[in-house]
C-alpha cells in the first residue's frame, strides 16, 4: 500500500495574512465608537462609494428591469431549488417533549434567531448565488429580520443581478457596503437597522477576520478560508471531465487548493497534462487565478486502493468532494469528512455552487473534519424546558441535594431541600 504525490503543493490554504487581525481590530474599534460616519468614510476609502448606504426600494425594483428574462428565470430557478432544500431540512427538526420520570416532563423548542446579517461578497466575480444561499435559508428558518450587504461598484452600487437576488431571497434591508464596515454595520445595527444576532456568508481574509473578532457578541456561521475542492477517481473517470472540474474550482482565486486523488496512474498523468491547457484557454482574470492556484496549491495523488483514496479525503476534509468512480454507494457510506459531496459525473461542484439546492456556504481549510456547512439549523436555537408535579419533583430533588453536597455546592442542595420541605408541609 502506498500514497504517491505526482504533484505536491508548495503552499497551504492556511496563508499568513500578516497584519490583517490588527487592521480589522482597529477598524472595528473605530466603527463601533464613531458609528455611521466612520462606516461612510471606510466605504469611500475602500469601495469609492459616497452614495446612499441603504438601497432604496425604487433602486431595488429597477434592478429587475436591468436583467434579461432568462437571467431572472435562472436566478428564480436557483432560488426555488435552494428554498425547497432548506424547507426539507427544516422538516427534519421540530419541538418534542418526554416524561423523563413520572411527573417530570422535559422538552425542546426550535426558535429562529431574531435578526440575521448576510454578507454577499463582491470583487472578482458577481456572487449572485451567495445572496440566495444565505438569505433564502435564513428566511425559511423563520428569522424575523434579515439585513444584507454587498460591496458597491463605484458610481453604480450593488450590481443589478446581486441586488435582484438579494431582494428575491427575502432581505428586509440591503446596504451598499462591503468588507469590515459592512459586517460592522450589520452587527452594530447601524443606519437605523436591527443589530444582527448572527452574521453569515463568505468573504475575503478581512471579512473572515472580522467575523472571528465579532464572534461571541454575535453568532457566525463559520470562519471561511479560501475555497477548495477534491476529486476522487478510478479508471472509469473521464480525464477531460476531471481536469475541467479541477479548473472550475481553481478559478475561484490564486490560493484555492484543488486535489485529484486516484488509483489510476494513466488518469493522473492525463489530468496533469490537461489542466494547464484548460487554464490557458480561460479569460484573463480567470486564467491568472487558475494558474496561481494550480501552480501553488494543486496536488495529484496516486493511491493503490480506494480505501487509501477515502482515507486521504478524510484526512484533508475538503470543502467540496467529488467522486467519479464505480460503486457510488460505497463512497457515500465510507466518506466522513467533507462540506458537500458530489457523486458521479452527472453532478459537479459548479452546480452546487449555483443552482442545485444544497447550501454552498461550506467549511474550508480542513474544518469539514468537525463541522458541516450553512443550513436552516444554523438559524435555529434548540432550547429546552421542564415542568414537574409535586410528586414528580421529589426523587429529582432528593438526588439533586445529595449530588450537590457531593460536589460541595451547599446552596444548590438547599434549593432542592426547600422544595422537599414545602412538599412535606403540603402533605401534612
Q: Mind telling me the catalytic residues?
A: 319-320
The cell for 426 is 403540603
Longest dimension (CA), the chain: 90
Best CA proximity match to 89, nearest among 128, 138, 145, 130? 138
DSSP run (H or E) holding 126: none
DSSP letter assigned to residue 349: H
Would you state the torsion angle of the CA atoms of residues 188, 191, 194, 196, taken in this order, to the nearest 10 degrees?
-40
Decide if 198 contacts 220 (C-beta within 8 A). yes
Distance CA 26, CA 242 (A): 44
Distance CA 86, CA 78 (A): 12
Q: How far is CA 400 from CA 261, 397, 420, in A?
A: 55, 5, 11
Decide if 159 contacts 153 (C-beta within 8 A). yes
- Please state whether beta strands 299-303 and 3-7 pair in parallel, antiparallel, or not at all (unpaired): antiparallel
Amino acid at each position: 500500500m502506498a500514497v504517491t504525490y505526482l504533484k505536491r503543493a508548495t503552499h497551504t490554504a492556511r496563508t499568513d495574512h500578516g497584519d490583517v487581525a490588527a487592521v480589522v481590530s482597529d477598524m472595528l474599534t473605530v466603527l463601533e465608537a464613531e458609528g455611521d460616519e466612520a462606516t461612510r468614510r471606510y466605504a469611500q476609502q475602500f469601495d469609492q462609494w459616497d452614495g446612499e448606504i441603504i438601497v432604496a426600494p425604487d433602486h431595488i425594483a429597477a434592478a429587475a428591469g436591468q436583467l434579461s428574462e432568462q437571467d431572472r428565470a435562472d436566478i428564480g430557478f436557483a432560488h426555488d431549488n435552494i428554498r425547497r432544500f432548506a424547507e426539507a431540512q427544516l422538516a427534519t427538526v421540530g419541538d418534542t417533549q418526554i416524561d423523563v420520570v413520572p411527573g417530570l416532563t422535559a422538552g425542546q423548542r426550535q426558535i429562529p434567531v431574531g435578526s440575521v446579517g448576510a454578507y454577499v461578497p463582491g470583487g472578482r466575480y458577481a456572487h449572485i448565488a451567495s445572496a440566495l444561499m444565505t438569505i433564502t435559508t435564513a428566511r425559511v428558518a423563520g428569522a424575523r429580520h434579515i439585513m444584507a450587504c454587498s460591496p458597491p461598484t463605484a458610481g453604480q452600487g450593488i450590481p443589478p443581478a446581486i441586488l435582484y437576488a438579494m431582494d428575491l431571497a427575502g432581505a428586509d434591508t440591503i446596504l451598499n457596503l462591503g468588507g469590515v464596515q459592512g459586517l460592522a454595520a450589520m452587527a452594530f445595527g447601524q443606519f437605523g437597522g436591527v443589530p444582527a444576532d448572527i452574521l453569515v456568508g463568505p468573504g475575503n481574509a478581512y471579512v473572515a477576520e472580522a467575523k472571528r473578532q465579532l464572534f461571541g457578541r454575535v453568532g457566525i456561521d463559520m470562519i471561511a478560508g479560501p475555497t477548495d475542492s477534491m476529486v476522487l477517481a478510478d479508471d472509469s473517470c473521464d480525464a477531460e471531465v476531471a481536469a475541467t472540474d479541477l479548473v472550475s474550482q481553481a478559478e475561484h482565486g490564486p490560493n484555492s487548493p484543488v486535489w485529484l486523488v486516484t488509483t489510476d496512474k494513466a488518469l493522473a498523468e492525463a489530468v496533469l497534462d490537461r489542466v494547464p491547457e484548460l487554464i490557458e484557454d480561460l479569460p484573463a482574470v480567470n486564467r491568472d487565478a487558475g494558474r496561481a492556484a494550480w501552480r501553488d496549491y494543486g496536488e495529484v495523488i496516486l493511491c493503490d486502493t480506494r480505501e487509501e483514496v477515502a482515507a486521504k479525503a478524510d484526512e484533508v476534509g475538503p470543502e467540496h468532494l467529488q467522486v467519479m468512480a464505480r460503486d457510488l454507494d460505497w463512497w457515500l457510506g465510507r466518506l466522513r469528512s467533507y462540506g458537500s459531496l458530489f457523486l458521479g459525473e452527472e453532478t459537479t461542484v459548479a452546480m452546487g455552487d449555483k443552482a442545485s439546492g444544497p447550501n454552498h456556504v461550506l467549511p474550508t481549510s480542513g474544518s469539514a473534519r468537525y463541522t458541516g456547512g450553512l443550513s436552516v439549523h444554523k438559524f435555529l436555537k434548540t432550547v429546552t424546558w421542564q415542568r414537574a408535579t409535586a410528586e414528580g419533583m421529589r426523587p429529582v430533588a432528593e438526588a439533586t441535594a445529595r449530588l450537590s453536597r457531593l460536589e460541595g455546592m451547599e446552596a444548590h442542595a438547599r434549593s432542592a431541600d426547600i422544595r422537599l420541605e414545602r412538599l412535606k408541609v403540603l402533605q401534612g
